[in-house]
Every structure is written in C-alpha cells, then in structure tokens.
C-alpha cells in the first residue's frame, strides 16, 4: 500500500506539472523559454495524463482567454456547467473563431505536435492520446507489475479531472475571491490551487496571463512557479516573464476600459490578429 501511494503521489505531481508548466505556462502562454528537451519532458508528462494534442489544448486555451466568458469561449460556465466541464471536449472540430493555423502558428511548426494533432480531427487525436497512455501503462504492468502500473494510470486519470474541474470552479465567483477586478468571472480558489499545483489562482492569472507566476500573495502557494524558478536557477530556463502586482492591476484595468460586447465585436472583426510571443499582461491576443 505504501509503495502504491508513493508512486501515485510522484506520478500525480509529474503529470500535474506537465499540465501547468508544460501545456499551460509554456505552450499556451509562452511565459518562459527553455530547450526543446525540457519542453518535451513536460509535454510528455501532460500527454500521459490524457490531456490530448498539445496544439488542440493550447489553441482552445488561447481561445478561452481571447473570448473569455462570452458565447465564443469554449468552456465558460455561463453557458452550462456540464458543457464547461467536459461537454466542449466532445466537439468534432475547431469553431470558426478558434483556428490553430491562425492562433497557434508557433506550435504547428513543431513536427511532433503536428503528428499528435492528427490533422485537427479531435476524435482521432484524442484516441491516439488515450491509446498511447494506456499502452504505456500496459508496458509498465508487464515490466514492473500491477502496483506501479495501476498507480500511474490512476494518477493520470486523476490529473485529467483537474483542468475540467478548474474550468468550472474558477469561473464561479462564489467559490473563491478576487485580487483583481477583471472583466470576467475568474476567481481564486485555494483548494483548486493545491490540487492543480498552482493553477487555482485563476483571477491572478486572468489579470496577467503571460506571467509564469500566478500566486501573488504570500499564502498563494504556486508549485508550478517554484518549479520554473528552480529550472531557471539551474539554467534549464532562459527567459521568464513574471508579472508584478502593479502589472496585474494595469492589465485588469486595460480590459475593464472596454465593455465585453465591444471587445467581442472587435475580436470578431479582427480574428487574424495573433502573436506567437504575447505581451505579458494582455489577454485578448492569441497567446495571452
């Protein structure tokens, strides 16, 4: 039992950081730079947690920020709790407003990510992700036995649930608190932050999406940021964007200056606007 729990915990942390450090803060927001080997290490951790194609994941997340809590947001709870949790995953293709060839050009350049994307056919790319994840656990079973295989599998499935839960819980203001007056429903939820290795400080994140650090107050524990900081210390990471409290405030205020309806209309008229290296605290662009 102890062996199972230790392996489960280690796998859970690795897979969770694969989502937070790899899929989210690195690919989706380009909040730091690192060698490809380091990038692939974290993306592998997220992929084996059944998170799907990195291009699909990052594109949908960029779309979430671009159209946050509007009808074009892929998973806003304003338009249904179940849809926000998992219903959006059952879509068969990208919407007209969210196009990886426009908003994720930086990721499409990578041949590994293009292969995992399977031409943008969601069912095919999702099937590939689950097949690879299950095959790996079967190989672990044959090599090391059922304890590590089951612990790894359950850790992967557990981590899969966290972003789905976050999409709902961290956009229901009654469940948390807000440090910044953003024009969306994002909120900080402490227990989500613990389960998601730092991602639950969601209001902070929406105020300054390009920041590699989301925990802004001293009690807002952010394991993903500590991991990035450690990699920076040992020179596995070069550029790192870190938003200050003042930058978070300015980022939130800039978005509050424009009404949601006006902002949505402008975005619909300018869908081709994109940036592969987004500004630190601007969240209307493709990568922010």
Which tens digits make up the pLDDT trace of 12-21? 999 999 999 9
Q: Which is more confidently placed, 277 or 123?
A: 123
Q: Is 285 inside a domain boundary?
A: no
Distance CA 264, CA 151 (A): 44
Q: For the chain, what is the HEC assignment? A: CHHHHHHHHHHHHHHHHHHHHHHHHHHHCCCECCCHHHHHHHHHHHHCCCCCCHHHHHHHHHHHHHCCCCCCCCCCHHHCHHHHHCHHHHCCCCCCCCCHHHHCHHHHCCHHHHHHHHHHCHHHHHHHHHHHHHHHHHHHHHHHCHHHHHHHHHHHHHHHHHHHHHHHHCCCHHHCECCCCCCCCCCECHHHHHHCCCCCEHHHHHHCCCCCCCCCCCCCCCHHHHHHHHHHHCCCCCCECCCCHHHHHHHHHHHHCCCHHHHHHHHHHCCCCCCCCCCCCCCCCCCC
CB atoms < 10 A from the CB of 246, how many? 9
Instruction: Give the residue numbers spanning the domain of 43.
Output: 2-269
pLDDT bracket for residue 200 (50, 70, 90): very high
Q: Is 277 inside a domain boundary?
A: no
Q: Is 12 inside a domain boundary?
A: yes
Q: Which tokens in the block code for residue 223?
A: 């394991």
If you average pLDDT over residues 79-99, what whole number do you get? Answer: 88
The alpha carbon torsion through 260, 264, 265, 271 (nearest 10 deg) reads: 160
Distance CA 86, CA 77 (A): 11
Q: Which is more confidently placed, 157 or 260?
A: 157
Q: Is 155 inside a domain boundary?
A: yes
Q: Is 27 inside a domain boundary?
A: yes
Q: Is 176 inside a domain boundary?
A: yes
pLDDT digits (tens, 9 = 90+) for 99-139: 999 999 999 999 999 999 999 999 999 999 999 999 999 99
Q: Which tokens in the block code for residue 33?
A: 């730079």
Number of domains, the chain: 1
Q: Dihedral of CA 84/89/95/98: which sign?
A: positive
Beta-bridge partner residues of 32: 240
- Which range among 62-71, 198-207, 249-258 shows the weakest confidence by mean pLDDT? 249-258
Q: Is 283 inside a domain boundary?
A: no
Q: Is 75 inside a domain boundary?
A: yes
Distance CA 224, CA 59 (A): 21
Percent of the chain having pLDDT more than 70? 87
Distance CA 50, CA 158 (A): 10
């Amino acid at each position: 039992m102890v062996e199972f729990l230790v392996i489960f915990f280690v796998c859970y942390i690795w897979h969770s950081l694969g989502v937070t450090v790899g899929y989210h803060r690195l690919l989706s927001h380009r909040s730091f730079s690192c060698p490809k080997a380091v990038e692939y290490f974290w993306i592998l951790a997220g992929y084996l947690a059944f998170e799907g194609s990195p291009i699909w994941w990052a594109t949908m997340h960029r779309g979430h920020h671009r159209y946050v809590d509007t009808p074009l947001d892929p998973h806003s709870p304003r338009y249904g709790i179940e849809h926000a949790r998992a219903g959006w995953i059952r879509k068969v293709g990208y919407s007209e407003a969210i196009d990886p060839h426009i908003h994720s050009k930086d990721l499409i350049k990578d041949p590994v990510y293009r292969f995992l994307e399977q031409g943008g056919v969601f069912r095919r790319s999702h099937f590939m992700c689950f097949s690879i994840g299950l095959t790996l656990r079967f190989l672990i079973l044959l090599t090391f036995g059922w304890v590590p295989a089951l612990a790894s599998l359950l850790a992967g499935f557990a981590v899969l649930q966290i972003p789905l839960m976050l999409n709902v819980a961290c956009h229901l203001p009654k469940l948390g608190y807000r440090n910044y007056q953003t024009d969306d429903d994002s909120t900080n939820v402490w227990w989500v932050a613990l389960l998601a290795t730092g991602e639950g400080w969601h209001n902070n994140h929406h105020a300054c999406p390009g920041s590699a650090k989301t925990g802004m107050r001293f009690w807002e524990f952010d394991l993903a940021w500590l991991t990035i900081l450690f990699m920076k210390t040992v020179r596995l990471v070069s550029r790192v964007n870190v938003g200050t409290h003042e930058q978070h405030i300015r980022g939130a205020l800039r978005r509050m200056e424009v009404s949601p309806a006006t902002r949505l209309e402008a975005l619909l008229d300018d869908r081709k606007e994109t940036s592969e290296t987004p500004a630190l605290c601007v969240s209307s662009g493709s990568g922010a």
